[in-house]
């Protein structure tokens, strides 16, 4: 097995070669919002966060696919040769997540582009409207509700992955600090008259603000993810580990562990790997 890493201003690539097969992790830096989701979910602690951005420790990374599944912008992808590698998900070990937006295009009014105008994320607009209909919702979509709010016909439904709570205690913020304002991808955090303001309804709990906050240990910024929504359950310890690290639902993660153990036992029995007592 041969492991190599290449990085430039646009992307980081980790290659894992085994005889004729090559597995690769590709991180597109222009799509990365430097949140903490991938780093917390990684079971190998191979994703490294710093003020310079996200890096991959190729000595720890085993290309398990988890970072690619949880990345909110699709900045990370895993490939086996030239095809996307999704073995863990296809085997049922890791669940999928709800579709970002549900759009009833038949309700879109003629000449209306309100949703496109409302989408003002730092990563660039995620919605494109052509011929009066929403034709594209890119991976850049972070599941904020701005497009849904702007739609005059209520044609858009947003499906969040995280539910939680966030507080910014301005009195504990360092004087003149606007680090969280600069990195918030949905612009839920803004600065006005020298004060940092938060519009909670636009927060998607990505954690980018926590990554850069210099006073989070003093309580200047407190973010808590309570729920992580998925389509079905994964039955692997990797999924339980990700759920526990990304949310505060440790009791739920423990329950998943119990359920997963039973699922694995049944699979083993079905494949006649063990004898039922």
Exposure of 4 in the CB half-sphere (CA atoms within 13 A): 6
Distance spanning both ends of the chain, measured CA to CA:
41
pTM (two decimals):
0.86
Q: Is 50 exposed, middle or buried (0-12, 13-18, 19+ CB in 10 A)?
A: exposed
What is the per-residue pLDDT for 266?
A: 57
Which has more confidence, 36 or 266?
Answer: 36
Per-residue pLDDT of 210-247, as tens digits, reads: 999 999 999 999 999 998 999 877 778 899 889 889 98
- Reading the block at residue 191, the tokens are 């600065």
Alpha helices (H) along 3-65 = 37-41
Per-residue pLDDT of 148-196, as tens digits, reads: 999 999 999 999 999 999 999 989 999 999 999 999 999 999 999 888 9
Q: For residue 48, is pLDDT > 60? A: yes
| 110 band by pLDDT with thresholds 50, 70 and 90 | confident
Angle at 69 between CA 67 and CA 71, to 5 degrees: 65
């Amino acid at each position: 097995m041969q492991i190599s890493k290449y990085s430039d201003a646009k992307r980081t690539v980790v290659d894992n070669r085994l005889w004729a097969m090559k597995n690769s992790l590709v991180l597109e830096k222009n799509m990365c919002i430097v949140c903490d989701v991938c780093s917390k979910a990684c079971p190998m602690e191979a994703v490294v966060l710093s003020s310079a951005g996200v890096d991959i420790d190729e000595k720890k990374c085993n290309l398990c696919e988890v970072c690619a599944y949880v990345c909110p912008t699709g900045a990370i992808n895993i490939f086996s040769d030239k095809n996307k590698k999704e073995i863990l998900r296809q085997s049922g070990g890791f669940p999928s997540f709800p579709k970002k937006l549900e759009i009833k295009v038949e309700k879109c009014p003629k000449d209306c582009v309100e949703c496109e105008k409302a989408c003002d994320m730092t990563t660039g607009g995620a919605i494109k409207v052509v011929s009066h209909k929403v034709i594209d919702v890119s991976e850049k979509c972070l599941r904020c509700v701005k497009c849904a709010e702007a739609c005059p016909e209520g044609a858009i439904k947003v499906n969040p992955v995280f539910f939680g709570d966030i507080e910014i205690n301005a009195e504990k913020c360092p004087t003149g600090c606007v680090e969280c304002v600069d990195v918030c991808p949905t612009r839920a955090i803004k600065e006005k008259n020298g004060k940092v303001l938060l519009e909670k309804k636009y927060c998607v709990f990505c954690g980018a603000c926590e990554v850069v906050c210099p006073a989070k240990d003093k309580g200047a910024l407190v973010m808590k993810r309570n729920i992580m929504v998925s389509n079905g359950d994964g039955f692997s310890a990797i999924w339980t580990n990700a759920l526990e690290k990304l949310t505060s639902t440790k009791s739920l993660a423990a329950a998943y562990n119990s359920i997963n153990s039973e699922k694995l036992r049944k699979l083993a029995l079905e494949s006649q790997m063990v004898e039922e007592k």
